Chain A
Amino acid sequence: MSDELVERLRRGPAGDDAALRVRLGVDGPVDDAALGRALVAAVAAAPLALRSEAGAASEARAEPEPAATDVRSLLALACAGTLAERRRSLLRLASLLGGDLPEEDLAEIDEALARARDLDAGYELLVARRALPGAASAEVRAEDAAARALAVRLEVAIGQYWDGQLEGEPLAALAPEELASVALRLREWPAAIAGHVAALVEGTVLDAERRRAWLDAFRHAGDPRLVPAFVTVLGAETRPLVRSAARALARIEDPRVKPALLRAYRRSAQPDERAALAGALGLLGEPAGRAWVRALLSSTETAILEVALGAMATLGLPEDVDRIAPLLAHPSPEVRLRAVRALGRTGDGRALERLRQIGGEGEGALQAEVDEAERVIAARLELRGEAPPAERSRGALATGPRTALGEAGGVGLSARLRAFADWLAGRAWLALGARDRAARCLERAAARHPAWAAPLVALAEGFGPDESAHALTALRRAVERDRAWVERHGARALARVFLRRADESEKAGRSEVARGLLEEVLALDLRRAPSGLRFELERRLGTLRGDGA
């Protein structure tokens, strides 16, 4: 009888149905509402059962191990695989490093890890670098020791903050390098720190803008403990927050992520938000938004093209080369940059040809993207056993070393030697902590050899944390003299000094100045800067631009 009543409710019980009235115990003709109420009461009164029916499907999933086991293939996968493949390959390399590897393999891994700038696999890179033998991992071990002390300090401060003993929010008080370290190592740190980050993002204490800044700061953390908070933001918030949450979620390996992103994608109607969600799904290997994003590539709006190309960097297939390649000639530098990145991810040899056509014209950040895209495509071709198209005709990379001490024109040999001696003396004084004397020697070296950038970079490195304005001036002079050399040998100093100065400007309320500094440094080739610093620069700029890109 209960099933019959359920069916009547589904069909609509209205009308003169005497039999139904009798069943429901309703006397005489009644209006539809009364009949409906009687039926609702009867159906709702049917008891629920405590019985076992088919439960939620839950498939046993083994951790996907990389198919390749040789070092060369693992390195190619670590460069050009999907995010999951890159991460697994790096962890596999780390475990191989714990064994007995031939010298040439060790050297190859060491070089590849030193070159790698994969922010999405930052934690796995850290684990692999830790596993390097001897001095190669000394820097990482030193950073780990500092990070452990920071974690202890932070955990105490967080407890005090929520207890009301500490007024300022502890993460906001960290220096940029420290914040990058927290994001990189969060997965290894206590639950109280991850819980604090989750609470900031969920937002009982912060406004939307600062919540988005934290979402962006922890975009690459990859900590599954953050998933519930990020999913909450995904379902609840405004478009910029949703975009940031989608990007952060896609970088966490967790079974809750894909269903949440799919749900949000199906609900979303705004192109920028939807494209970010489609791109996030693409990072997980889910092609749901590919066709929709492809259609956006024919848009004439620069902003739409930017978000579409951002998504194509994870969704692109070899057949998309012809759709993306024409955008390499777009007037917007940002569109060109994103087109290069998206072409790189297609992994197609034809894309290599197109990239080589613009390669010689590129400068700074664009050239860095072109080189990275070429490297990724070459690695993919190698994984597929294909030969890359014929080598490029141009000789060296535009970012390659163009000027060295010995080849500078217009400066006599004795002047160059005296400059070199001053530079050596300056470095020595720096090592001894005599900064004023060091500065005098280095300035003298720079004056003796006007095309040489090394003394100015050394000078910038010698300035203390509270003298970032002076360091900035020295670095700008160095870039003016020999940009390629500075990008190659001074990338760490560039990233650190510009970041510190931007941080100071922002804290002083001069956001425009901070934004200008970040744009200036990010226009340079920073591939040789530590990935944490580079990420922090990009995150800060995204926050200041208000686009979270």
Chain B
Amino acid sequence: MSERLPRRSLPPMEHAAELRELCRRAAPSAAPADAVPASVSRVIVEVRLGARTELVTLAADRGRLVVATSEPGGDGPAARAAVAWLAGEPSAERPERAPEAAAEPERPLAERLDELVAAVARSGLGEEAPPAVLDALERLAAHHPASAPAAARWLARLGAALAGSDARQTARALTVALAPDPEHHEPFGGPARALSDRRFVELGRESVDAWGSVPLERRVLLDLDHGELFTESRFGAGHPASVGPCPRLLELGFGTASGALPRDLRAQQYTISTAIPDEIWERVEGHAVSMSSAGTAALSALATAPATSEPLSLVHGPVIEDGHLVDEGGARLPLSEEDPGAVEVLRTLALREPLRWLLVRWTSHGDSLCAVPLAAGHRRGKGWVHVRLR
């Protein structure tokens, strides 16, 4: 699991004068002897206009004042109040009266996403996510509750990318904001297709970060007839999933699947069995692909849905060399550092027994692809052994 985004809360700023006075009291009388020389180059001010809140960024650029604001029009009362406050003018402490002092009105998802993108554009990512960006993210999450697993997972991944100042990952996650009507697309919406009379075997299970305090439990199921890998998400009590241990056979009577590759399954009528005959394991091995074709498919899935896709592959048993998966054809791909313990277990296992198949989740590290191992299969005597790695 990657680190969760640290939550912050900014101090309440009811009155600019109070804030200025608090700063005066908190400021040290003299700089400590070992202090690094510091100069303020950019100020972000949150201005309340009745029930509305706007962010104003003020910066000095080669002798010129640069003002950027989240309010429509670019030069409204919020920008003027912020400039006045920084200049020390008393008018800053008389914010313009808003017509209605009620709760913040609902705004469409597209506007919230725009607000987030604008905050990133104004503040950048810095060494750690700036408060204005985190605020925009929190507001987005608060007004569009991440009750659906896909949305909760997307928010957590975006939060982690922001916290880690990972510009590439942040950009991929923010492509959600490029859709004309995001509420109808992943991760906030999208069509679900019915599935019936399918047979799956659950190969792996992992717990991944989701927005909020509850992680997402994700199972990986292989469609034994078509070879497609599905996920099944279990996310809190309100989103129950099918029961049973891993591995298991799941005979689906009826269910739905939605989302970007891999598709997320919701089993509504099903039976399960924990006894998995050898011929099923042989079919699992039969669906494994070479590492290079798995990597190519993963790249394609990530290009199609960069914000939400977390591709999975079932690959022919590779060997492990210096933190890399190496297959018979010579393809060589790095293992992710996301879970070093799982990598170590895999390495030890591969030294002891030749792997017959390996289930991986693909993730990006910088600008290249790497694999998170989830489960492996090998033979012992005449039987099959399934090893869950996460």
Q: Which residues of A contact B (CB under 8 A)?
A: 2, 6-7, 9-16, 31-33, 35-37, 39-41, 43-44, 46-59, 61, 158-159, 162-164, 191-192, 195-196, 198-199, 202, 204-205, 224-225, 228, 231-232, 235-236, 254-260, 263, 267
Contact B178 A41 (CB under 8 A): yes
Contact A254 B175 (CB under 8 A): no
Can you give 7 contacting A-B residue pairs, CB < 8 Å?
Answer: A9-B125, A47-B303, A48-B369, A50-B299, A55-B334, A162-B244, A256-B345
Contact B386 A191 (CB under 8 A): yes
B247 at the binding interface (Cβ < 8 Å) = yes
B241 at the binding interface (Cβ < 8 Å) = yes
Q: State the Cβ distance, A68 to closest chain B Cβ, in Å.
A: 26
B171 at the binding interface (Cβ < 8 Å) = yes
Most B C-beta atoms less than 10 A away, residue of A31, A32, A162, A263? A32
Q: Which of A6, A50, A58 contacts B320 (CB 8 A)?
A: A58
Q: Which candidate, B99-107, B252-260, B268-276, B279-287, is the interface stretch facing chain A?
A: B268-276
Contact A12 B389 (CB under 8 A): no
Contact B217 A202 (CB under 8 A): yes
Contact A12 B120 (CB under 8 A): yes
Give chain A residues whose Cβ lies under 8 Å from the Cβ of B389: 228
Q: Report if A57-B337 is in contact (Cβ < 8 Å); known contacts: A12-B120, A14-B57.
A: yes
Contact B121 A33 (CB under 8 A): yes
Q: Which of B170, B243, B247 contacts A9 (CB 8 A)?
A: B170
Contact B333 A198 (CB under 8 A): no
Q: Which of A10, A16, A32, A52 contacts B332 (CB 8 A)?
A: A52
Contact B273 A162 (CB under 8 A): yes
Provide the main secondary structure of the chain A interface: helix
Q: State the Cβ distance, B109 to closest chain A Cβ, in Å.
A: 14
| Contacts of B40-59 to chain A: CB distance below 8 A | 57, 59
Contact B323 A199 (CB under 8 A): no
Contact A235 B68 (CB under 8 A): no
Contact A15 B66 (CB under 8 A): yes
Q: State the Cβ distance, B312 to closest chain A Cβ, in Å.
A: 16
Whole-angstrom CA separation of A90 from B245 in the bound complex: 33
Closest residue on chain B to residue A2 by CB atoms: B367
Q: Which candidate, B82-90, B110-118, B144-152, is the interface stretch facing chain A?
A: B110-118
Q: Report if A235-B343 is in contact (Cβ < 8 Å); known contacts: A40-B117, A44-B171.
A: no
Give the 5 A-B CB pairs with smallest separation, nearest first.
Answer: A55-B323, A12-B124, A256-B341, A36-B121, A199-B245
Give chain B residues whose Cβ lies under 8 Å from the Cβ of A159: 273-275
Q: State the Cβ distance, B273 to closest chain A Cβ, in Å.
A: 6
B290 at the binding interface (Cβ < 8 Å) = no
B390 at the binding interface (Cβ < 8 Å) = yes
Whole-angstrom CA separation of A260 from B345 in the bound complex: 14
| Contacts of B71-92 to chain A: CB distance below 8 A | 74
Q: Which of B68, B115, B337 contacts A15 (CB 8 A)?
A: B68
Chain B interface bracket (under 10, 10 to 19, 20 to 34, 35 or more): 35 or more
Closest residue on chain B to residue A258 by CB atoms: B341
Give chain B residues whose Cβ lies under 8 Å from the Cβ of A199: 243-246
Whole-angstrom CA separation of A187 from B121 in the bound complex: 55
Give chain A residues whose Cβ lies under 8 Å from the Cβ of B124: 9-13
* 1/0 contact string of B14-35 vs chain A (CB within 8 Å): 0000000000000000000000
Closest residue on chain A to residue B132 by CB atoms: A12
Give chain B residues whose Cβ lies under 8 Å from the Cβ of A158: 274
Q: State the Cβ distance, B248 to closest chain A Cβ, in Å.
A: 7
Give chain A residues whose Cβ lies under 8 Å from the Cβ of B334: 52-56
Give chain A residues whose Cβ lies under 8 Å from the Cβ of B388: 225, 228
Give chain B residues whose Cβ lies under 8 Å from the Cβ of A236: 207, 214-215, 217
B205 at the binding interface (Cβ < 8 Å) = yes
Q: Report if A56-B343 is in contact (Cβ < 8 Å); known contacts: A12-B123, A40-B177.
A: yes
| Contacts of B212-251 to chain A: CB distance below 8 A | 214-215, 217, 234, 240-248
B370 at the binding interface (Cβ < 8 Å) = yes
Q: Which of B174, B247, B296 contacts A40 (CB 8 A)?
A: B174
Contact B323 A57 (CB under 8 A): yes
Provide the main secondary structure of the chain B interface: mixed
Give chain B residues whose Cβ lies under 8 Å from the Cβ of A41: 175, 178
Instruction: Supply 17 further A-B pairs (C-beta < 8 A) apart from A6-B167, A43-B168, A53-B368.
Output: A6-B171, A9-B124, A12-B122, A15-B68, A40-B170, A50-B333, A52-B332, A55-B322, A159-B273, A162-B245, A162-B273, A191-B385, A204-B234, A204-B242, A256-B339, A256-B345, A267-B4
Give chain A residues whose Cβ lies under 8 Å from the Cβ of B203: none
Contact A162 B339 (CB under 8 A): no
Q: Which of A37, A43, A195 contacts B247 (CB 8 A)?
A: A195
Contact B120 A9 (CB under 8 A): yes
Give chain B residues whose Cβ lies under 8 Å from the Cβ of A256: 339, 341-342, 344-345, 390
Contact B333 A255 (CB under 8 A): no
Whole-angstrom CA separation of A496 from B178 in the bound complex: 68
Contact A32 B122 (CB under 8 A): yes
Q: Report if A260-B302 is in contact (Cβ < 8 Å); known contacts: A15-B61, A52-B333, A228-B388.
A: no
Whole-angstrom CA separation of A251 from B234 in the bound complex: 28
Q: Which of B59, B61, B121, B271 contacts A13 (CB 8 A)?
A: B121
| Contacts of B339-364 to chain A: CB distance below 8 A | 339-345, 347-348, 364
B139 at the binding interface (Cβ < 8 Å) = no
Whole-angstrom CA separation of A359 from B300 in the bound complex: 71
Give chain B residues whose Cβ lies under 8 Å from the Cβ of A52: 324, 332-334
* 1/0 contact string of B173-187 vs chain A (CB within 8 Å): 011011000000000
Contact A48 B245 (CB under 8 A): no
Give chain B residues whose Cβ lies under 8 Å from the Cβ of A225: 388
Contact B215 A235 (CB under 8 A): yes
Q: Report if A195-B246 is in contact (Cβ < 8 Å); known contacts: A9-B167, A53-B368.
A: yes
B366 at the binding interface (Cβ < 8 Å) = yes
Contact A195 B306 (CB under 8 A): no
Q: Report if A195-B245 is in contact (Cβ < 8 Å); known contacts: A13-B121, A236-B207.
A: yes
Q: Which of B234, B274, B306 contacts A192 (CB 8 A)?
A: B274
Q: State the Cβ distance, A422 to closest chain B Cβ, in Å.
A: 55
Whole-angstrom CA separation of A31 from B234 in the bound complex: 40
Give chain A residues whose Cβ lies under 8 Å from the Cβ of B217: 202, 232, 236
Contact A9 B171 (CB under 8 A): yes
Whole-angstrom CA separation of A257 from B342 in the bound complex: 10
B365 at the binding interface (Cβ < 8 Å) = yes
